[in-house]
C-alpha cells in the first residue's frame, strides 16, 4: 500500500458534537485504479478531487456500485468494523452483475482497515455514533460507446455519523412505481437503483409519507424493500421478511436481524409477504410492527402505511414489547462492543498504519 499522509489535515477543526453527516469527510481516502486487465497499487491519500472529464463512462453509463458500512469506537477507544466480509462479498456480486472487475480482499479489507486506522480520530465516541464508510467502484474510461469499460477506480471515503435514532415514519405502499425488474439489478447496490427511486419517493413525500414500500413491478401485490432498506413485518409474534432474489438486496442488517431474532426464540418466516396479508392483519389488529433495516439507521420503525388512498395506523410499542427496537438494541450493543459477540461479527481495527506512516 502506498501511503501519503495529508499535509493539511482538518481533524483539528472537527467537532464530534457538532458536524454535518454525509458531507464532512475524513482527511484521507483509499483509491486503486484498474487498467490493462488488472488492479494497480492501493493508495491511501488525502481526501480530495481527482481529474475526471464528463466523458467518464461511470457517469454516462452508470457502471458504478457501492457499499455502506460503519466503524464503531467503544468506551476504551478501540475501533471495530461490523461483518466487513459481507460487504466484501456483496460489492463483488454487484460488480459482477454490472460487468465490472471484482476487487481483492487486500484492496477491500486492507483498504478499509488502513483508512479507518489512519482516520480513527474522526470516529465519534458515544452511543449510536460511528464512522460511515463508503467503498465504491466506478468506470473511469473516457469513451462514448455504450459498452463495458476497460478502466475503473475503486475508492473508499468516509464521513462521521451521528446517532442512528430516528422518529417513526409513515410509508407509502407503491402501486405504480417500482425499484427493480425481474431479471434486473435490484439485488446489486448499483448506483442507478438509487436515482430511480428518488422521484417516486418525492411524490410520496408530497403525500405526507417519508418513504416508499416497494412492491413487485408486475402485480404490486408483494413487498420487496422499503426506501433503501430491507423490510420486516410482525404479525402477532411472528416476523416475516421477503426472501432475497435478483430483485431484493441481501442486506447485512437484514441477515443480522434474522440471526438475532432466532437467538431470542422469535419465529422468523422468510417468505413472500403479500400486501393483502399485511392490510388484513392491520384491520384485525394482529399487525404489531412493520420496520425497515439498513446500515445507516439500523431500524426505521413505521407508524403508518399508506395504501390506495387510505392511511393505516400502526401501534407504537415501548422498547420491551417491540421486536424492532429490541433487535436494534441487540445489534447496536454488539456493534459498539457493549455485549458479547456470539456470532463473531466484530472485527477490531489495530493501530498499524498510523504508526508506520
For the segment 84-143, give every residue that binds its own copies (CB under 8 A).
Answer: 96-99, 132, 134, 136, 138-139, 141-143
Cβ atoms of 100 and 65 within 8 Å: the answer is yes
End-to-end CA distance of the chain: 11
The Cα angle at residue 297 between residues 58 and 174, in degrees rounded to 5 = 70
CB of 76 to its own copies, least distance (A): 27
CA distance 97 to 116: 28
Nearer to its own copies, 197 or 256 (CB): 197
Three-state DSSP at 291 gives strand
Q: What is the dihedral of CA 162, 164, 167, 173, to 10 degrees?
A: 120
Give the contact letters, 20-39, x = binds to its own copies (CB under 8 A), - = no.
-xxx-x---x-x--------
CB of 109 to its own copies, least distance (A): 18
Residue 199 is a binding residue for its own copies (CB under 8 A):
yes
Bridge partners of 313, per DSSP, are 304
Residue 195 is a binding residue for its own copies (CB under 8 A):
yes
Among positions 4, 182, 236, 316, the unique one binding its own copies when judged by CB under 8 A: 182
Nearest residue to 163 via CA among 17, 292, 28, 293: 17
Burial classification of residue 45, based on how many CB atoms lie within 10 Å of its CB (0-12 exposed, 13-18 middle, 19 or more buried): middle
Nearer to its own copies, 4 or 236 (CB): 4
Site size for its own copies, by CB under 8 A? 71
CA distance 83 to 98: 24
Among positions 49, 285, 318, 344, the unique one binding its own copies when judged by CB under 8 A: 49
Q: Which residue has the cell 486487465?
A: 37
Residues 316-345 that bind its own copies (CB under 8 A): none
CA distance 176 to 165: 31
Q: What is the dihedral of CA 33, 35, 37, 43, to 10 degrees?
A: -20
Nearer to its own copies, 168 or 184 (CB): 184
Nearer to its own copies, 107 or 157 (CB): 157
CB of 315 to its own copies, least distance (A): 28
Nearer to its own copies, 180 or 235 (CB): 180
Residue 180 is a binding residue for its own copies (CB under 8 A):
yes
Among positions 47, 257, 291, 307, the unique one binding its own copies when judged by CB under 8 A: 47
Among positions 168, 192, 250, 312, the unique one binding its own copies when judged by CB under 8 A: 192
CA distance 332 to 129: 10
Give the contact letters, 218-237, x = binds to its own copies (CB under 8 A), - = no.
x---------x---------
CB of 123 to its own copies, least distance (A): 15
Residue 69 is a binding residue for its own copies (CB under 8 A):
no
Among positions 2, 4, 40, 48, the unique one binding its own copies when judged by CB under 8 A: 48
CA distance 236 to 285: 9
Amino acid at each position: 500500500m502506498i501511503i501519503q499522509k495529508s499535509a493539511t489535515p482538518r481533524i483539528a477543526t472537527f467537532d464530534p458534537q457538532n458536524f454535518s453527516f454525509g458531507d464532512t469527510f475524513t482527511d484521507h481516502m483509499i483509491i486503486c485504479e484498474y487498467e490493462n486487465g488488472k488492479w494497480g497499487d492501493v493508495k491511501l491519500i488525502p481526501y480530495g478531487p481527482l481529474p475526471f472529464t464528463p466523458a467518464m463512462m461511470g457517469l454516462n453509463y452508470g457502471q458504478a456500485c457501492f457499499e455502506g458500512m460503519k466503524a464503531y469506537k467503544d468506551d476504551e477507544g478501540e475501533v471495530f468494523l461490523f461483518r466487513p466480509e459481507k460487504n466484501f462479498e456483496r460489492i463483488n456480486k454487484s460488480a459482477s452483475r454490472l460487468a465490472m472487475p471484482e476487487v481483492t480482499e487486500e484492496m477491500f479489507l486492507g483498504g478499509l482497515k488502513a483508512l479507518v486506522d489512519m482516520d480513527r480520530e474522526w470516529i465519534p465516541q458515544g452511543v449510536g455514533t460511528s464512522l460511515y464508510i463508503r467503498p465504491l467502484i466506478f468506470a473511469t474510461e473516457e469513451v462514448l460507446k455504450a459498452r463495458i469499460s476497460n478502466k475503473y477506480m475503486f475508492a473508499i471515503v468516509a464521513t462521521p455519523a451521528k446517532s442512528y435514532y430516528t422518529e417513526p415514519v409513515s410509508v407509502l405502499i407503491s402501486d405504480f412505481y417500482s425499484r427493480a425488474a425481474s431479471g434486473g439489478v435490484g439485488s446489486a447496490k448499483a448506483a442507478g437503483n438509487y436515482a430511480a427511486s428518488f422521484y417516486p419517493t418525492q411524490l410520496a413525500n408530497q403525500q405526507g409519507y417519508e418513504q416508499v414500500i416497494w412492491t413487485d413491478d408486475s402485480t404490486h401485490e408483494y413487498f420487496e424493500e422499503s426506501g433503501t432498506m430491507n423490510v420486516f413485518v410482525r404479525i402477532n409474534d411472528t416476523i416475516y421478511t421477503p426472501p432475497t432474489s435478483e430483485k431484493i438486496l441481501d442486506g447485512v442488517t437484514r441477515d443480522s436481524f434474522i440471526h438475532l431474532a432466532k437467538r431470542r426464540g422469535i419465529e422468523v418466516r422468510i417468505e413472500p409477504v403479500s400486501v393483502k396479508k399485511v392490510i388484513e392483519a392491520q384491520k384485525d389488529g394482529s399487525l404489531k410492527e412493520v420496520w425497515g433495516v439498513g446500515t445507516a439507521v439500523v431500524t426505521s420503525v413505521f407508524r403508518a402505511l399508506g395504501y390506495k388512498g387510505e392511511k393505516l395506523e400502526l401501534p407504537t410499542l415501548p422498547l420491551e414489547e417491540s421486536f424492532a427496537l429490541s433487535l436494534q438494541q441487540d445489534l447496536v450493543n454488539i456493534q459498539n462492543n457493549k455485549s458479547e459477540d456470539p456470532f463473531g461479527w466484530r472485527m477490531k481495527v489495530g493501530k498499524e498504519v498510523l504508526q508506520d506512516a
